[in-house]
A and B are shown apart, each in its own frame.
Chain A
Amino acid sequence: MAQERSQETSVAEPPPGSVADLFREALPGVQMSAEQTALDVAITVRREDLIRVMQTAKEDERLAFDFMRSLSGVDHLDELEVVYHLYSYSLGHAVAIKVRCPPDDAHMPTISHLWQTANWHEREAAELFGFVFDGHPDLRPLLTEEGLGYYIMRKTHPLAEIEEWQEDYLKAAEEAVAQAAAEAGVPMDERARKIELAQKKAVVIKKAREEARGRGLAGDEERAAVKAALKALEEEEAAKAEPKPAEAPAKPADDRAAKIALAQKKAALIKKTRDEARARGASQEEERQAVAEALKALAAEEKSG
């Protein structure tokens, strides 16, 4: 039997005595290749043989597939595929029949005259993948009454494209955000800086993760690597941001900041004096006196300065 798709390496041969042998017995001379999937045997046939194969599958006593349980379209990019899952109530066995066709010639013979349930399944596949089931009695779109005009389940169709009407909304939303920020007094360059930082972080995380995976790390180790990369980025950013506060003193410091600075100075002085007093071996009373004197000196210095 000719192996049509021998270029695929991972095809597992079905065990002897499987349903694939029954098909070969019932359909001598028909080109087919069989593989064992996780549960069922899958048989790939040529498009021109499909009707004959399906008719035999339903009517041959050895096969007796009376139930078409599922019909799925699959987009393999270079080819489109229809997969029919069949089941036999009388014999209790199952099979998958696969047929391929080029995407620009997606014609398939209908099987809805063999199994009526295929009617809606074919309509759905036609609508979502762009198949044309020749001979189908009523191939109107099923899920969208008027049809979409494009085939959403094809791999070439993006999950969500930003459409023209959405662009206007996005622009308007962005402007609204900018306006609100301006009104609230948040400088826009601050916001832009934050966005830039977030973007940088995302790049670093992705890179670190890929590197970690490349080295064969997983789980906690991977997470640790990402964390380290993020820390490095933060340090780098902090170093860059350092010169900025140097400009700050040019502005008149407000009252509150000055008070805080003074309090911090006081605290440092108290600690220093206390430590010195203790190092001298002074008593508690002497220590308190020393601290009070130091504070007085500081107050005088602040006044004059």
Chain B
Amino acid sequence: MQWNSAGEFFAMGGYAFYVWGSFGACALLMLAEPFLAKRRLSEVRQSLIRERLADELELQQKTS
């Protein structure tokens, strides 16, 4: 290991902005994308569940 302290690690030999800017952007986008994909899936699921409940309710009203 080439780091003597945490400060040295975060300084990245003077390239902190460039190195952390790169890894940070990757981390940010690669956390945001799965979050958005999962939200899209749960939104369509929720709307399908609502639709089915509405259908069942309608059926109940017709039969009663």
A and B bound?
Answer: no
Residues on B close to A: CB < 8 A? none
Residues on A close to B: CB < 8 A? none
